[in-house]
Amino acid sequence: MDLVDEILKLKEERNAIIMAHNYQLPEIQDIADFLGDSLELARKAINVDADVIVFAGVDFMAETAKILNPEKTVLLPTRRATCAMANMLKVEHILKAKEQYPDAPVVLYVNTTAETKAYADVTVTSANALKIVEKLDSDVIIFGPDKNLASYVAKMTGKKVIPVPEYGHCYVHRQFTLEDVERARKLYPNAKLMVHPECEPEVQERADIIVSTGGMIRRAPEHDEWVVFTEREMVYRLQKLYPDIKFHPAKEDAVCIGMKAITLNHIYESLRDMKYEVTVPEEIAERARRAIERMLEMS
């Protein structure tokens, strides 16, 4: 059985679309109808002309697609596709911060659960966090869950950014160290360094550019060789888009286990059996939807 052919047949039968994040395995990127970063996927989710969305990403992304498309069936190919960072932020962290800073808007990274998004004034992605925080009429911001993105936003906007929780991080981006920066400079002396804002501040400080994965795609043509400080599979995406530019992963083992939990077989079984359907309680979905839609309006 050719899995790709079977998936394509089932897609047609189910009137389905496959949406995939830039960190997915190459073979999944190759069959995706739409491939992008969190912001691009959220925007695309609004205008999906299909009955079924198969979301090749982690659970919070599939929840976002469901929140924006309550009438559509959204499938997450495996329950193992989860985000450790999103699960670090709990509602009580937000409520505690609001007690201390009652007038501060709550700005939550889309890398959060639907339950916590319901407490956000607005959501952001790494692509639009600066723009949105700058537009908010407050000098104090409650921001979660990634402390490194919070630090970057504080540095670039000059606002007081309260990270919730204080230890929130992406374990993939936390792996990158100053030693990796030095090694990259020695191995590839002509290359520039593109660094994701979830990386540690000291790594960001030594970057040539600090950008989301969508920003990496947009800015790659500015130079002919790059070392990429984010999840490994982003290099595949970039190399496919720009075959004449050299891209090197800063670390071969910078792998998101949640993203890599999804295989072609999972997508096939998900479409065949219509599993695993994503549901979000309407009360939570309605409140989270407001925060997501505000983000889309502001960015």
pLDDT at 14: 98
Q: Tell me, yes or no, whether 143 and 268 share the same domain.
A: no
pLDDT at 48: 87
Q: Tell me, yes or no, whether 53 and 102 share the same domain.
A: no
Say whether pLDDT at 38 is over 90: no
Q: Tell me, yes or no, whether 68 and 115 share the same domain.
A: no
Q: Tell me, yes or no, whether 63 and 121 share the same domain.
A: no
Contact 276, 79 (CB under 8 A): yes
Q: What is the pLDDT of residues 207-255, one digit of tens each?
A: 999 999 999 999 999 999 999 999 999 999 999 999 999 999 999 999 9
| Helix (H/G/I), strand (E/B), else coil: 145 | coil
Q: Tell me, yes or no, whether 243 and 114 share the same domain.
A: no
Mean pLDDT of 157-170: 98
Say whether pLDDT at 1 is over 80: no
Say whether pLDDT at 43 is over 90: no
Say whether pLDDT at 31 is over 80: yes
End-to-end CA distance of the chain: 44
Task: Give the C-alpha separation, 6 to 71, whole Å.
Answer: 26
Q: Tell me, yes or no, whether 164 and 293 share the same domain.
A: yes
Distance (Å) of CA 177 to CA 73, 173, 181, 206, 207: 41, 9, 7, 11, 12
pLDDT at 18: 98
pLDDT exceeding 90 applies to what percent of the chain? 95
Q: How many domains does the chain have?
A: 3
pLDDT at 214: 93
Q: Tell me, yes or no, whether 10 and 72 share the same domain.
A: yes
Q: Tell me, yes or no, whether 128 and 268 share the same domain.
A: no
Q: Tell me, yes or no, whether 161 and 223 share the same domain.
A: no
Mean pLDDT of 26-49: 91
Q: Tell me, yes or no, whether 152 and 208 share the same domain.
A: no
The mean pLDDT value of the chain amounts to 97
Q: Tell me, yes or no, whether 24 and 67 share the same domain.
A: yes
Domain CATH for 72: 3.40.50.10800
Q: Tell me, yes or no, whether 116 and 144 share the same domain.
A: yes
Query: Nearest-CA neighbor of 145 among 166, 168, 161, 122?
Result: 168
Q: Which residues have CB under 8 Å from 74's CB, separation 6+?
A: 52, 53, 55, 62, 65, 66, 277, 278
pLDDT at 45: 85
Task: Give the C-alpha separation, 93 to 126, whole Å.
Answer: 21
For residue 266, what are the domain limits? 3-82+259-279
